[in-house]
Chains A and B, each alone.
Chain A
Amino acid sequence: MRFWTVSLLVVLSVIGIALSDANNYFFFAGFVVLQAVVLASAWNILGGYAGYVNFGVPAFVGAGAYTALSLHLSFEAPLVIQILAGAIFSGAVGFLVGLLTVRLRGIFFSIATVSLVFIFETLVMNSSFLGGATGHQLTRPSDIPFFDTYTRYLVVVMVVLAVISVAAARFIQDSFVGRGLRAVRDSEEAAECSGVPTLKLKLLACSVSGALLGAAGAPMPMYLSYIEPASTFNLLYAVSALAMPIIGGMSHWIGPVIGALILATLQQIVTVTISSEMNVLVVGVLLVFFVVVAPDGILGLIKRWKASSK
């Protein structure tokens, strides 16, 4: 109950800020931070609970974005439909990736998912309908419900998506699905022997995770009013989506949220004050730092601190 109250308060306050006359840059950055919350929570469903490192996040984000673009180009479909379609398509990709887990674990799974990024990028580059390598310029719809600018509307959409993702991660964690996935992470053979339907659970986790990643990517063409393959299929998404749960802590749904808020905010500050290269360095250094010094993330540090103060 407390979870839903807090979520409702978050959504309402974001709507409130979007209706106020706050600085527009604030929304531009806010969208990215909220998107990071979606990416981190979605990644953690598979990576944190089941221990399968999906390094193909840009493939799912890009699949969502380009599904949305193609619907916009062919039917001028409304944003909600674009997001739903992006989620369904990326969820289907996630299901297929889930089938790969029958044979592939550990680094092999990661490498297979990286492959998807480059294969999708090449497909988009060679499709003239999707704009090829040069990309596609698009005009946002002129009628925006309630809000002053389209970006404000997108921020509200993204906060709803963030709440959905966190709720999904929380639900999965507390249900038998999450327990099964954790059993898979600790020992897949032992889980299978104890009657955990490992394949079904992994397929479910891959599909849900993929669908949420796709939904996070779907508003991208509208957010930028422009889309091109090189930045859409950028591996920086992959390394960020991996770094955020590791920084926050992978064992609980709040971990990725903490990690996403910290890392994405830091990235925005660094990009504005120093440079975008430094922003990549920040992700890399924080990732390595946490893996080495605090392998269980901030949640692990808090737990350790509580245990020692007792």
Chain B
Amino acid sequence: MFFSWELFFEAILFGILLGGFYAAVSLGLSVTFGLLDIPHVAHPAVLLMGAYGVFLLGQYGLDPVVAGLLLIPLFFAFGAFFYRIYYSIFESRGGDNVAVNGLAFFFGIAFIIEVLLVIFFGVDQQSAEASYIGGSLELGDLRIPYRLIVAFIVAISAATILSAYLSKTFYGRAIKAVGQDEGALRLMGVNPVSVKTLAFGIGTSVNALAGAVLLIVAPVEPTMDRIYIGRTFCVVVLAGLGSMSGTVFAGLLLGITESIVLMFFGTSWAPAVAFGLLLIMLGLRPQGLFGR
């Protein structure tokens, strides 16, 4: 292991950029799992679906970020529809093994999406084309890839907009409320099921944009969602379920930790960082750093 302050600061800088990216891919989960308490283990698979959707539009010459924005309505509709199905199967039915079956359902969906991606796109890695992919900004000795900067900007903007929507608008506040007390919401004359449908739609639609970011940052392949189970859940649990600013902060924390491990111990240890952090967090403080 070789240590120098210069390398350390470089690791932190890259960690911050990487962290913005991790926050972006976790935002959707922060809504669906964090606010609605739905065990959405298929989130990384949906995220990957977003990345492949952006890749498909990229074949027609669309810029990844534009493609991601265009896919948002489609993903919103898919998410809302998916929640309706989930609701009619589990939340309205009740019964003996609902908790186990709900989890099993999402694991099954994740694997189905994975195989469908393999069938349609093959097992090879796919990547996007854009002017900012490949080049880098040079600051003295430092070379910062433009794609990380773009990812960071998109991530922070998405988090800011989502956070503002959730705290400033009526329906945004209703979404925040539905996870805490459904009965009280019903008394205010709001239908909890339609609020949850809206929230799940929003949480899914964020994945279109986050998928674009994923594709910009690195090439994607169909089984990649498995490692992102660790990264996204790590960020959301660290953030303390459902806090958007917490999600950004937790993303940065994960990014910086991973970047430091990457720089000083080598890439082969990187996959364990998110899962290790997650396990420690779950063991010591499952309510998260900024938990309710």
Identify B97's interface contact among A114, A122, A250, CB under 8 A. A250
Docked complex: A146-163 residues within 8 A CB-CB of B = none
Interface pair A110/B41, CB less than 8 Å apart: yes
Docked complex: B84-99 residues within 8 A CB-CB of A = 89, 95-97, 99
Residue A266, interface by CB 8 Å: no
Residue B111, interface by CB 8 Å: yes
Interface stretch of the complex, out of A77-85, A86-94, A206-214, A281-289? A281-289
Residue B109, interface by CB 8 Å: yes
Count the A-B residue pairs with Cβ separation under 8 angstroms: how many? 130
Distance between A266 CB and nearest chain B CB, rounded to angstroms: 15
Distance between A286 CB and nearest chain B CB, rounded to angstroms: 8
Known contacts A235-B226, A277-B115; is A292 also within 8 Å of B99 by CB? no
Which single residue of chain B is at the shortest CB-CB distance from A102?
Answer: B283
Interface stretch of the complex, out of B9-17, B171-179, B227-235? B227-235
Identify A239's interface contact among B99, B108, B275, CB under 8 A. B108
Distance between B40 CB and nearest chain A CB, rounded to angstroms: 9
Identify A295's interface contact among B96, B108, B282, CB under 8 A. B96
Identify B109's interface contact among A104, A118, A278, A284, CB under 8 A. A284
Interface pair B109/A288, CB less than 8 Å apart: yes
Q: For B233, what are the chain A residues with a Cβ–Cβ distance below 8 Å?
A: 111
Q: For A106, what are the chain B residues with a Cβ–Cβ distance below 8 Å?
A: 39, 99, 103
Interface stretch of the complex, out of A47-55, A165-173, A194-202, A219-227? A47-55
Residue B101, interface by CB 8 Å: yes
Distance between B283 CB and nearest chain A CB, rounded to angstroms: 6
Interface pair B282/A288, CB less than 8 Å apart: no
Docked complex: B70-127 residues within 8 A CB-CB of A = 89, 95-97, 99-101, 103-105, 107-112, 114-116, 118-119
Interface pair A114/B104, CB less than 8 Å apart: no
Known contacts A126-B268, A242-B107; is A292 also within 8 Å of B282 by CB? no
Q: For B278, what are the chain A residues with a Cβ–Cβ distance below 8 Å?
A: 111-112, 115
Interface pair B104/A287, CB less than 8 Å apart: yes
Contact with A along B152-165 (1 / 0, CB 8 A): 00000000000000
Interface pair B272/A296, CB less than 8 Å apart: no
Identify A116's interface contact among B96, B99, B100, B279, CB under 8 A. B279
Interface pair B275/A115, CB less than 8 Å apart: yes
Distance between A3 CB and nearest chain B CB, rounded to angstroms: 25
Interface pair A122/B268, CB less than 8 Å apart: yes
Q: For A164, what are the chain B residues with a Cβ–Cβ distance below 8 Å?
A: none
Residue B286, interface by CB 8 Å: yes
Interface pair B100/A47, CB less than 8 Å apart: yes
Identify A122's interface contact among B41, B89, B271, CB under 8 A. B271
Residue B291, interface by CB 8 Å: no
Residue B269, interface by CB 8 Å: yes
Docked complex: A256-310 residues within 8 A CB-CB of B = 277-278, 280-281, 283-285, 287-288, 291-292, 295-296
Known contacts A111-B282, A119-B279, A280-B115; is A295 also within 8 Å of B95 by CB? yes
Residue B134, interface by CB 8 Å: no
Residue A45, interface by CB 8 Å: no
Q: For B268, what are the chain A residues with a Cβ–Cβ distance below 8 Å?
A: 122, 125-126, 133
Docked complex: A212-264 residues within 8 A CB-CB of B = 235, 238-239, 242-243, 246, 250-251
How far, in whole Å, are A78 and B64 apart by their CA atoms in the complex? 57
Residue B276, interface by CB 8 Å: yes
Docked complex: A37-96 residues within 8 A CB-CB of B = 47-48, 51, 53, 55
Which single residue of chain A is at the shortest CB-CB distance from B33?
Answer: A107
Docked complex: A92-140 residues within 8 A CB-CB of B = 100, 103-104, 106-108, 110-112, 114-116, 118-119, 121-123, 125-126, 133
Interface pair B108/A115, CB less than 8 Å apart: no
Identify A100's interface contact among B99, B271, B282, CB under 8 A. B282
Q: For B109, what are the chain A residues with a Cβ–Cβ distance below 8 Å?
A: 284, 288
Which single residue of chain A is at the shortest CB-CB distance from B278?
Answer: A115
Q: For A125, what are the chain B residues with a Cβ–Cβ distance below 8 Å?
A: 268
Q: For A288, what are the chain B residues with a Cβ–Cβ distance below 8 Å?
A: 105, 108-109, 112
How far, in whole Å, are A108 and B278 apart by their CA atoms in the complex? 10
Q: For B95, what are the chain A residues with a Cβ–Cβ distance below 8 Å?
A: 295
Interface pair A112/B279, CB less than 8 Å apart: yes
Identify B103's interface contact among A103, A107, A133, A284, CB under 8 A. A107
Can you spell out 23 A-B residue pairs with CB atoms less than 8 angstroms apart?
A47-B100, A53-B103, A100-B282, A107-B39, A108-B282, A111-B233, A111-B282, A116-B279, A118-B227, A122-B268, A125-B268, A133-B268, A243-B108, A251-B96, A283-B108, A284-B108, A285-B112, A291-B105, A291-B108, A292-B89, A292-B105, A295-B95, A295-B97
Q: Footprint of A on B, CB under 8 Å?
A: 33, 39, 41, 89, 95-97, 99-101, 103-105, 107-112, 114-116, 118-119, 226-227, 229-230, 233, 237, 268-269, 271-272, 275-276, 278-279, 282-283, 286
15 other contacts beyond A55-B103, A118-B275, A287-B107, with CB at 8 A cut-off?
Answer: A48-B100, A51-B99, A106-B99, A107-B103, A112-B282, A115-B230, A119-B275, A133-B268, A239-B108, A280-B115, A284-B108, A284-B109, A284-B114, A291-B101, A291-B108
- Please name the 8 residue pairs, one residue from A and one from B, whose CB atoms are nearest each other, closest first: A287-B108, A284-B111, A122-B272, A107-B39, A115-B275, A288-B108, A284-B112, A281-B115
